[in-house]
Amino acid sequence: MTAFPAAAMRPHRFPVQQDLDADFTLADLARIRADPGPIPRSQHRGFDVAAYEQQVWQLDRPIDDGRLLDWEGPASTTATIGEPSASDLALLHAFEVCGLWHPPVAHNLDGLSAPRACVWLAVADRWILLSHTSADLRLLNAACKLIGAVWTRWHTAAGDGWPSLARSLAHTARLLSDATHHLTGRLNHHPPPTATATTAPFWQTPPTLPGEAPSIVVLAGAGSAGAQQFLSDLPHPSPVDAVCWYDAPSNAIPASSAYASAWYPPEPAASGPPGRPGVRRSDLRHHTARTWDDVTGIIRSHRTDLLVLIGMPIVPTPVLRQARLGVINAHNGALPQYRGMDAVGWAVLNNDPIICTLHLAAPAVDQGDILATAPVPYEPPASLRRRVKATQLDLLLAVTLHAAATGRLPEGSPQGPGRQYYRLHPHLKRVLDTRKGNPAGRK
């Protein structure tokens, strides 16, 4: 087994917060004292993936772990490690969306028993191995969350079988160490690719719309710096009629959590906030909404044709149906390949180009028709966040001006099958920070 790369994983931007994020360091896991002996049968790579049917992520349900823990597996268990099965992916999604990882994570784990934790470690073992053979790092990310949850409970629990988990936890930790070492080496031996493809610049010479212009409303999160800059960049007179600032109570992730914001390469300390400060446009009508009913009423009052989303959470379907032309949103990843969270970090982990996508908002998140795309070079990494945000705003502005001038949206392209991504565990964010060329990375 490879030694734990503790020096490479020293915390800096993302300090380890065990109770808040169910986080860990490889060095801490390496100090687990376990009696020598064979690994438990539950940790064999060929275990029964039908754990999905047992709903093992729901802590308030009993778990029948006998079928999983006593299953011997096929004669050659290595044959089961290749591509994740449908049950693997269904269980992955169930774990990721069940709410367990919303900080403070430790508060969500009171119902995690030792037998269930043993099953979680078995799942984590399988997913670590699968992430290597299939190159699907979502499995490694989810395994980090499972390991962090078990480590957090094992660290404080007493009795009820928890001490006996030391051997299983130590075994899983060694697998994670090897996977981390491999991933860190790959990130530092492959330069980031450059994307060159983009959609046609349909917005350069839009025809002038005869007659009444469409009603355009911006729906933005309260205090969104991106929305303020977008409004500042609008021409005079403004093609936008109004802005609705959505200021509802939210179940926001604590700002001190490593989950609170998406990963980007660190910026110089003196760089200040991205973009220039926006100016409140006096030629626009400003509204504040605290409920989705408020939002719906405001949109209807303006007889909205086009709704522009900036800095918003997931918008309910009834709101999306209010705009005649549609609702547009800018995503910081290539669609349909990078749906969901932390698209930039995932693209870097996968050594893929970074591409922003302007798309129609649809009831299925990040799955509406694609209207425009634009690549964002990775280099220089210290300004990547600023350039991604600027590219998203440029796409929104271009399509908004096109709709204002033509009374229609550019022709969209339906999305094909894609892949859903989830929030990156802090451990993988620290791995990303070790990439050569990043201001915080190793030289």
Domains of the chain: 18-187 (no CATH), 216-251+260-421 (3.40.50.170)
Task: Using the CB atoms, write b or e for 365-383: b if 16+ within 10 Å.
Answer: ebbbbbbbbbbbbbeebbb
pLDDT at 78 over 50: no
CB 284 within 8 A of CB 231: yes
What are the angstrom distances between the C-alpha of 113 and each of 43, 56, 96?
A: 17, 11, 19
* H helix runs in 188-308, sequence order: 225-233, 292-301
Residue 139 tokens, joined: 């499995």
| pLDDT in the model for residue 115 | 87
Residue 394 tokens, joined: 């440029």
The distance of Cα 92 from the centroid of its chain, to the nearest Å, equals 14
- Cα gap 292→41, rounded to integer Å: 50
Residue-wise pLDDT tens digits, 154-187: 988 766 778 888 888 999 999 999 999 999 999 9
| pLDDT in the model for residue 161 | 75
The model's pTM is 0.89
The rounded mean pLDDT for the chain is 85
Confidence of residue 35 (pLDDT cuts 50, 70, 90): low
Residue 117 tokens, joined: 């934790």
Q: In what order do the strands lie in the sheet with 306-310?
A: 285-289, 242-246, 216-221, 306-310, 326-331, 355-360, 370-375
* 3 state SS of 71: coil
pLDDT at 46 over 70: no
